[in-house]
Amino acid sequence: DIQMTQSPASLSTSLGETVTIDCRTSEDIYSSLAWYQQKPGNSPQLLIYDANNLADGVPSRFSGSGSGTQYSLKINSLQSEDVASYFCQQYNNYPLTFGSGTKLVIK
Amino acid sequence: QVQLQQSGAELAKPGSSVKISCKASGYTFTSYAMHWIKQTTGQALEWTGYIAPGSGGTKYNEKFKGKATLTVDKSSSTAYMQLSSLTPVDTAVYYCARAEVPGYWRFAYWGQGTLVTVSS
């Protein structure tokens, strides 16, 4: 199984700031990586696919980057509605696997 | 629009089984695989497997073989996951999910989740 190492586990930051969440995979996944946002009590929502493509309806302050085994999610100009947990997921190999999540809170 | 409507919360005793459902609408049910994903209260997400409604073919995460059984009813556009020999570690929210593009398993559509609680 491909291991997903996501960091940090939690992040406290201020409105308007920029945050970066990292996801490292145990082997090359050839950019087959998605990022999800999950707000409390809700289902995950797709933000980014193929490492750097914005899903439909997702604000442009979200962006993804990376290749090989190293990937990142960046959120510019943090808004209050961005308070959520964020997960990465690889879909290059079975079983599909997810990162352990990053909980983002506002200071 | 694509909608995945899941059945309600279940409370089950250790050793028993539960069967949860996911009713799809807004698209051709047989054209897209239905995946199932487990989320524990610690937030970890685990992919259970998928079923291709058109053929009935399945692919399971090895970890869930013998635990989860995926089926569909094409007449009602409903997918099911049965969980057997329940133990407290099976307590979780279970989601059904569908990809935007067949074969590219990133999930644009999710059900609202079904909480399964295993307790005596």
Q: What is the DSSP string of B35-90?
A: EEEEE-TT--EEEEEEE-TTT--EEE-GGGTTTEEEEEEGGGTEEEEEE-S--GGG
CA A95 → CA A3, A64, A80, B47, B55, distances in Å?
10, 23, 34, 7, 21
Dihedral of alpha carbons B102, A44, A21, B45, sign: negative
- The pLDDT value given to residue B41: 83
pLDDT reading at A9 higher than 90:
yes
Q: Which two tokens stand for residue A39?
A: 């707000």
- The pLDDT value given to residue B43: 84
Q: Which residues of B touch A101 (CB under 8 A)?
A: 43-45
Facing residue for A96 by CB, picked from B44, B105, B110 = B105
Which of 40-99 (B) contact A at CB < 8 A?
43-47, 59, 61-63, 95
- The pLDDT value given to residue A44: 97
Q: What is the pLDDT of residues A45-101, one digit of tens each?
A: 999 999 999 999 999 999 999 999 999 999 999 999 999 999 999 999 999 999 999
Q: What is the pLDDT of residues B3-40, one digit of tens each?
A: 999 999 999 999 999 999 999 999 999 999 999 999 99
Asked if B44 and B93 touch (Cβ cutoff 8 Å), the reply is no
Q: Which residues of B touch A96 (CB under 8 A)?
A: 35, 47, 61, 105
Dihedral of alpha carbons A89, A4, B40, A85, sign: negative
Q: Rounded CA gap, B20 and B23, in Å?
A: 10
pLDDT reading at B117 higher than 90:
yes
Q: What is the pLDDT of residues B35-73, one digit of tens each?
A: 999 999 878 899 999 999 999 999 999 999 999 999 999
**Interior angle at CA B40, CA B76 and CA A80, nearest 5:** 95
Tell me the pLDDT band of B102, cut-offs 50, 70 and 90: confident
Mean pLDDT, to the nearest integer, of A2-26? 97
